[in-house]
Amino acid sequence: MAANYPTMKRSPLSELGRRTEPPPISWLIQLALSRPRLISLAAGFTDNESLPVEDVRGLLNGILRSRRTGQPALQYGSTQGDPVLRRLTARHIRRLDAGPASSRVYSADRLIITNGSQQLLYMVAEALCDTGDIVLVEDPTYFVYLGILQSRGLRARTVRLEKDGLDLARLEHLLVRLKRTGELRRVKLLYLVSYFQNPTAVTTRFEKKSGALEVLGKFERAAGHPIYLLEDAGYRELRFKGEDVKSSLAVKGRAERVIYTGTYSKPFATGTRVAFGLLPEPVFTAVLRIKGNHDFGTSNLLQQLLAQALATGRYDRHLVELRERYARKARIMSKALREQFPAEVEWLEPRGGMYFWARLPRRLESGPKSKLFREALANNVLYVPGELCYADDSTRVKPNREMRISFGNAVEKDIRTGVARLGAALHKLLDL
Amino acid sequence: MAANYPTMKRSPLSELGRRTEPPPISWLIQLALSRPRLISLAAGFTDNESLPVEDVRGLLNGILRSRRTGQPALQYGSTQGDPVLRRLTARHIRRLDAGPASSRVYSADRLIITNGSQQLLYMVAEALCDTGDIVLVEDPTYFVYLGILQSRGLRARTVRLEKDGLDLARLEHLLVRLKRTGELRRVKLLYLVSYFQNPTAVTTRFEKKSGALEVLGKFERAAGHPIYLLEDAGYRELRFKGEDVKSSLAVKGRAERVIYTGTYSKPFATGTRVAFGLLPEPVFTAVLRIKGNHDFGTSNLLQQLLAQALATGRYDRHLVELRERYARKARIMSKALREQFPAEVEWLEPRGGMYFWARLPRRLESGPKSKLFREALANNVLYVPGELCYADDSTRVKPNREMRISFGNAVEKDIRTGVARLGAALHKLLDL
C-alpha cells in the first residue's frame, strides 16, 4: 500500500478512539492460538458438544421451508425486535420470576432484542453515562464490562462481594463517601452479574437485590436523579444445583429502577448472539433510539430461530440436557481440583455457570507476570489471572492471587489434564 | 407497575441519551402500520419475492448437517470476524475493483465484519469524531446516517450533489471557508453513498472519488490530521444498467485515507444483516476495539452462511436474478411515472439501487405537513418527503420539493397503483 501521505502531527481519532484499549484478554487469546498443544481453561466459550446443531437445523428448516415464513425471516424487521420473540421472552422471564400474568413489569413493550447482552450493556452506558460518571461494580466483576467503562471514560467504584452477593454495608458506605465528596451526582448505576457470576460463581440472594435497590433509592434525592440497578442475568439458566433466585424485577415497587438483561447465547445457540433487555423509562426510549443508530435491529432470521426454539419447547428441552452436561463437567473439575491442587488453595463450588474461582495462599501471585502464570504456560495450560477482573479503584489494593478456571469449553479429558498441569505448577512453586 | 419513586429534578440520561432523537421516519413507519390499505413507496425494504429462501435453507443445511461444521457456526467467533468470510469478501471487492492479487489494500487483515453497514458507520463516527466535530455529507444524503450525526452531537456540512456525484468545486470552496473560520481541525471525514445513492440514485464517477480524495488531501496540513473519505457502497451490486465503477480504494496512493463499507443485506439475504468495512490504520484498530465493546463479534452462524454463499457461487447466481428483478421493477415504475405524473415533475432514471428521486415544480411542496403529503395519504400512498434527506445546514435553505419513491419492496401491482395514486394527488394540486 503506497504511503503517499506525510505523517500528521495530530491523531485523527476521537477521545474515545484514542482512549479505547485492547480487551484485557486479547493477549491470552493470542497465546492460546499460538500454542496448539495448550489447554485453555481461560476461554469463556461454551461447551461445544452440547451446542444444539440438530435443533437449530430443524428449526431453520421449519422457518425456511415455505416462502410464507421464510421471507419475513430474510427481510428487515423492527429496531425493537420481533414481536413474537419479545412476547415469548417476556413471558419466559416472568415465569422464572413467578410474576403475575397481569404484571406490566414483564411487558414485551419494555423489551428490546440485542446482539448479545454485551450490546445492551454498551447502549445502557451510552444512554446513562457521560465521561467521568461513576458506575458501581462488584469486586471482582465481568472484565469485558470493565472494557466498556474504560472506553467511555467512566469510573468504576467497587463493592466487596460476599458469598451471597454484594456487601450491602459496603455499598452504603461507598455511597455515603461519594455523597461527602460531592460525587453522588456522577453515580448512574450499579452493575450486578447476579447469577453464577463471571468470574466468582457467586449468586446474589434475592434479599440482597432488594436491599441494594433500597440503598440506591436512599441516595437518589441527594444525587438528584434515579440510580439504576443493571442486573446481568447472563448465566441464570446455566443452573445445575439448587433453586432459581428471582430477579430484581420481582422486587416490589422497584421495577422502575431495574434494567434487566439476559441472553440466549449461553443457554442455547451461542453463535446466534441473540439477547435482550427489559428497561424502564426513560432508559428504554433512549436505548431504543440508540439501537436505531447502531444497527436498526438484530437479524430477523436469528430472532425467528429463537422464537421457534421457545415456541416449540426445544429451548426448554435443550436446557435440561445442557444443565446435566455442565453439572458433570463441574464435578469433574471439582474432583480434579481436590486431587491435584495444594490444600492451601481455596475455591467455591459453583452451582451453575462455567467457572471456578480459586484463591491462592498469600505467598503466591497469579498475575500475567507472575512465576505461576509462566510456569503454567510452560506446562501448556492457561487460566485467567484474577486481577483482570478487578476494576481500577485507588481506594483498595487490587487482589492478585486468584484464578478464573473455566469448565465451559474444555472437553472432559482436558479439564482433568489442564487442572493436573496447573496443580503441578502450584505444587512446584509452593515447594520452592 | 407501582410508581413508588418521587419525580426527580434531573434526568438520569447522558448528554447522548437526552440528545438522541427518534429516527426521522419512525412516524412514517407508524403511519404505514396503522393503515393496512396503504401502499408504501417509502420503505427501504428489499424485494420480498427475490429473497433467497431456498438458497439460505440449502446453505444452512450444509453447515448444520455435520457437527464438525455445525459446532463452530454455533460457537463464539472472533471480534474481527470469520477468517474465511473476510478472505472471500476482500477478494470479492478486489475483483470488483480489478485490483492486483498482490494489493495490500484488499487484505482480509484490514476487514471487519459488522452487523449491517450501519454498525460500521456508527463505529467510525465513534472512533473519529468528538462532539462538535464536522462531517461533510452529500446534499441530500442517507437520512439514517444523519441520525448518527445528530445523536453524537456532530455537525453536518453539505456539498451539492451533481448527476455524476459530488460537486468538487463546492467541496473545495467549503473547505476553504472552514479553514478561514478556524473549523478545519474539526473536519474528520467526508461521507459518500457512492453507488445508486439513497435517496437520489446518483452514482459517483471514479474521477470524482479520486478528485475528492485529492481535495481532502490538500487541506490535511491545515487540519493537522488525516481527513477520511468514508465510502458507503451499500447499493453497489444492485446495478442493472451500465458498468461497475471502481471504488475509492482503487485510487492510487490514497487507500490510507479510504474507509470502505459494503453489505450483504441488500444484494443477498437482508434479514442476516451481515456487512463489512475495510479500514486503514489507525481507524482499523480503534474500530476493532470498539466492536469488542459493542458485541465482540457478529453472529458466527450468519457469517458461515455468507461465506458459503460466496464460496459456492450461489451469491453470484442470486445477484444475476436479483438485478433482473430490480431492473424490471424500475422499468415498471418508470413507465408508471411517465404515464401518471404531471410533465413538470422531473426525475433521474436509476441504473441500480431501489429509488426514484422526483423533483416537483416550484409551486408544490412535498414535506410532511404539505398539502401533497396529506393528499397522498388520503389516497392511501406514502413517499419519503425529500427534506428528511437534507442535513441541517444554515448556509443554505433546505429544499422541500422532492420525493423519494422506492420500487424495492412494493410488488409490481402496487408500484403501478401507488404511482397512479401519487400522480392523482399531484394532478389535483397542480390543477388547483
Across A153-165, average pLDDT: 97
Give the nearest chain A residue to B117 (CA atoms).
Answer: A295
pLDDT at A267 over 70: yes
Q: How does DSSP assign B293-347, residue by residue?
A: HHTSS--HHHHHHHHHHHHTSHHHHHHHHHHHHHHHHHHHHHHHHHHHS-TT-EE
Cβ–Cβ gap B256/A4 under 8 Å: yes
A contacts of B5 (beta carbons < 8 Å): 217, 220, 226, 256-257
Across B367-374, average pLDDT: 95
Beta bridge partners of B325: none
pLDDT of residue A18: 96
CA distance B401 to chain A (A): 27
Cβ–Cβ gap B70/A56 under 8 Å: yes
Half-sphere exposure of B178 (CA within 13 A, CB side): 26
Give the nearest chain A residue to B104 (CA atoms).
Answer: A1
pLDDT at A324 over 60: yes
Across B259-272, average pLDDT: 95
pLDDT at B4 over 90: no
pLDDT at A198 over 90: yes
**Mean predicted lDDT score pLDDT of chain A:** 95
pLDDT of residue B96: 97
pLDDT of residue B223: 96
Per-residue pLDDT band for B26 (boundaries 50, 70, 90) equals confident
pLDDT at A4 over 80: no
Cβ–Cβ gap A299/B257 under 8 Å: no
Q: Could you tell me how many helices (H) and strands (E) chain B has, helices first? A: 15, 14
Per-residue pLDDT band for A311 (boundaries 50, 70, 90) equals very high
CA distance B212 to chain A (A): 15
Give the nearest chain A residue to B125 (CA atoms).
Answer: A14
pLDDT of residue A36: 83
Cβ–Cβ gap B74/A271 under 8 Å: yes
Cβ–Cβ gap B53/A75 under 8 Å: no
- The dihedral over CA atoms of B289, B290, B293, B299, expressed in degrees to the nearest 10, equals -90
Buried b (16+ CB within 10 A) or exposed e, A48-59: bebbbbebbbeb
pLDDT of residue B1: 55
Buried b (16+ CB within 10 A) or exposed e, A9-28: eeebbbebbeebeebbbeeb
Cβ–Cβ gap B12/A255 under 8 Å: no
Least CB–CB distance from B75: residue in A17, A103, A270: A270
pLDDT of residue B29: 79
Structural contact between residues A201 and A357, judged by C-beta atoms closer than 8 angstroms: yes
Cβ–Cβ gap A1/B48 under 8 Å: no
Per-residue pLDDT band for A347 (boundaries 50, 70, 90) equals very high
CA distance A410 to chain B (A): 13
Size of interface A-B (CB pairs under 8 A): 313
- Residue from A53, A66, A151, A214 to probe the interface with B (highest B Cβ count within 10 Å): A53
Across B92-99, average pLDDT: 97
Across A403-428, average pLDDT: 97
Q: pLDDT tens digits, residue range B313-363?
A: 999 999 999 999 999 999 999 999 999 999 999 999 999 999 999 999 988
- As a three-state string, the secondary structure of chain A is CCCCCCCCCCCCCCHHHHHCCCCCCHHHHHHHHHCCCCEECCCCCCCCCCCCHHHHHHHHHHHHCCHHHHHHHCCCCCCCCCHHHHHHHHHHHHHHCCCCCCCCCCCHHHEEEEEHHHHHHHHHHHHHCCCCCEEEEEECCCHHHHHHHHHCCCEEEEEEEECCEECHHHHHHHHHHHHHCCCHHHEEEEEEECCCCCCCCCCCCHHHHHHHHHHHHHCHHHHCCCCEEEEECCCCCCECCCCCCCCHHHCCCCHHHEEEEEECCCCCCHHHCEEEEECCCCHHHHHHHHHHHHCCCCCHHHHHHHHHHHHCCHHHHHHHHHHHHHHHHHHHHHHHHHHHCCCCCEECCCCECCEEEEECCCCCCCCCCCHHHHHHHHCCEECEEHHHHCCCCCCCCCCCCEEEEECCCCCHHHHHHHHHHHHHHHHHHHHC
Rounded CA-CA distance A276/A123 in Å is: 12
Per-residue pLDDT band for A24 (boundaries 50, 70, 90) equals confident
pLDDT at B380 over 70: yes
pLDDT at B2 over 70: no
What pTM value is reported for the model? 0.97
B contacts of A144 (beta carbons < 8 Å): 292-293, 296
pLDDT of residue B142: 96
Give the nearest chain A residue to B186 (CA atoms).
Answer: A12
pLDDT at A8 over 90: no
pLDDT at A407 over 90: yes
pLDDT at A431 over 90: no
- Tell me chain A's radius of gyration from C-alpha atoms: 22
A contacts of B67 (beta carbons < 8 Å): 53
Across A390-411, average pLDDT: 94
Structural contact between residues A277 and A120, judged by C-beta atoms closer than 8 angstroms: yes
pLDDT at A280 over 70: yes
Rounded CA-CA distance A132/B341 in Å is: 57
pLDDT of residue A54: 97
CA distance B14 to chain A (A): 5
B contacts of A282 (beta carbons < 8 Å): 11-13, 17
CA distance B346 to chain A (A): 30
CB-neighbour burial class of residue B12 (10 A; exposed 0-12, middle 13-18, buried 19+)? buried
Give the nearest chain A residue to B74 (CA atoms).
Answer: A271
pLDDT at B258 over 80: yes
CA distance A363 to chain B (A): 35
Across A139-163, average pLDDT: 97
Closest CA to A376 of A422, A431, A429: A422
pLDDT at B119 over 90: yes
- Residue from B65, B299, B322 to probe the interface with A (highest A Cβ count within 10 Å): B299
Return the percentage of chain A with pLDDT > 90, whole number: 92
pLDDT at B198 over 80: yes
A contacts of B1 (beta carbons < 8 Å): 103-105, 255-256
pLDDT of residue B8: 80
Least CB–CB distance from A128: residue in B14, B252, B289: B14
Q: Considering only A14-18, A321-325, B31-35, B235-239, which range has the smallest mean pLDDT?
A: B31-35
Across B263-285, average pLDDT: 96
pLDDT at B432 over 80: no
**Mean predicted lDDT score pLDDT of chain B:** 95
pLDDT at A3 over 60: no
Least CB–CB distance from A226: residue in B5, B16, B221: B5
CA distance A67 to chain B (A): 7
pLDDT of residue B3: 55
CA distance B169 to chain A (A): 22
Rounded CA-CA distance B339/B350 in Å is: 17
C-alpha grid cell, residue A321: 440436557
Cβ–Cβ gap B14/A129 under 8 Å: yes
Across B303-310, average pLDDT: 98
Least CB–CB distance from A61: residue in B5, B61, B295: B61
Cβ–Cβ gap B74/A270 under 8 Å: yes
Q: pLDDT tens digits, residue range A87-96?
A: 999 999 999 9
pLDDT of residue B30: 79
Cβ–Cβ gap B51/A20 under 8 Å: no
Give the nearest chain A residue to B253 (CA atoms).
Answer: A2
pLDDT of residue B24: 79
Return the higher-pLDDT residue of A374 and B36: A374
pLDDT of residue A387: 96
Least CB–CB distance from A4: residue in B79, B253, B271: B253
The C-alpha cell 486479547 sits at A26
Return the percentage of chain B with pLDDT > 70, whole number: 99
